[in-house]
Amino acid sequence: MAGMSALPVEYFDDFDDFDGFAVGSPVVGGVDDAQVVALLGEVEPGVLAMTLLRGLELEGLDELQRIEVAAAWERQQGWVAAQAQLALAAVTADLPGMAVAEQVRAQEFRTDLIAACLRWSPMAAGNKLAVAERLAGDLPLTMASLEAGSISFRHAFVLADAVLELQPDEVAFVEARVIEKAAQQTVAQFTRAVRRAVLAAAPQLAAARHDQAVAGRQVRLLPGVDGMADLIAHLPAVDAETVFLALDGQARRAAAAAKADNPEAPAQPVGAGRADALLCWAKDAWPTRICRAGRAAARRCRW
């Protein structure tokens, strides 16, 4: 029946505490989809909520109701992610009771087992397992928010990853400081809040992390598509800003000169101007002979 959820009333017999529908009442043919959508916010994420959502016929809903449905599915993703994190953390829950040597061997074996079963790399498996253990063991407020669908798994991951090296009291401080506003923040906003909280909780660790990151500064060349490539510079923030401002200034000066020479010519994007400025710098820095050899090698590249 169009506009009606394909759920028999008997389904709700196991949810006697759910007041959204008149459980046991003569709604034999199902319930109106608009009513389901209106009550979705009162249903906690989980099996019941997903069953209700799955029974909806989107064609009979208006655009606002469809957005509500999409938002409800987003909340379910948080709940599902929470269950997955709890299950993953349970894989190593018994390790603390082992001797140190046995614990190390068991941790390595189970990490490799997770990697093989879930088709992750061993490094990715180790990182994800550490995040799951942190969430399940030391971030109860975050797990509660994730399970309630108030925050996304990306929010939870940002926090868990940021506090992996902190002591328990520092973890509790950071979580208490950021979790209350997390539901109203984008992932980017939440990330900035977490960084500030970590800095306040463990300034010495933040300084050590910065020194380690500076030591890892680098420039990488990655293949792209359509004959393009990405040149990525990983630099201290101040140095990166210096390079960017220099390229931007040169690009804008070149654009102004081109505009003066030919006012009718279309202006190119400023990003393209920065790329041209970088290339000009490289050509000036390289001897002509080496530059020609590099361009010849680039033409032979099969990216």
Q: In this structure, what token pair is assigned to residue 160?
A: 């868990």
| pLDDT of amino acid 265 | 82
What's residue 296's pLDDT? 59
- Dump pLDDT digits (tens) for 135-188: 999 999 999 999 999 999 999 999 999 999 999 999 999 999 999 999 999 999
Whole-prediction pTM value? 0.71
Residues 6 or more apart from 108 whose CB is under 8 A from it? none
> In this structure, which long-range contacts are made by residues 168-175, counting pairs with CB atoms below 8 Å and at least 24 apart in sequence?
168/138, 170/201, 170/202, 171/134, 171/138, 171/139, 172/138, 173/197, 173/200, 173/201, 174/198, 174/201, 175/139, 175/141, 175/142
Cβ–Cβ < 8 Å for 115, 124: yes
For residue 101, pLDDT beyond 60: yes
Mean pLDDT of 196-209: 90
CA dist 178 and 189 (Å) reads 11
Q: Report the pLDDT value the prediction gives residue 17, as an integer from 0 to 100.
A: 47
Tell whether the model's pLDDT for residue 218 goes beyond 60: yes
Look at residue 293 in the predicted model and tell me its pLDDT: 56
Lowest-confidence region among 172-176, 271-275, 283-287, 292-296:
292-296
| pLDDT number for residue 180 | 95
**Please, which pLDDT band fits residue 302 given cuts at 50, 70 and 90?**
very low
Q: What is the mean pLDDT of residues 201-207?
A: 88
The distance of Cα 85 from the centroid of its chain, to the nearest Å, equals 15
Residue that wins the pLDDT comparison between 260 and 298: 260
Handedness of CA 113, 118, 120, 125 (dihedral sign): negative
For 24-64, how does the pLDDT look when each residue is reduced to its tens digit (9 = 90+)? 333 334 568 888 888 888 889 999 999 989 989 998 899 99
Decide: 174 and 162 in contact? Cβ < 8 Å. yes
Q: Look over the chain and give the mean of its residue pLDDT values, rounded to a whole number.
A: 86
Q: Can you tell me the mean pLDDT for 294-299?
A: 56
Q: Does the pLDDT of residue 2 top 60, yes or no?
A: no
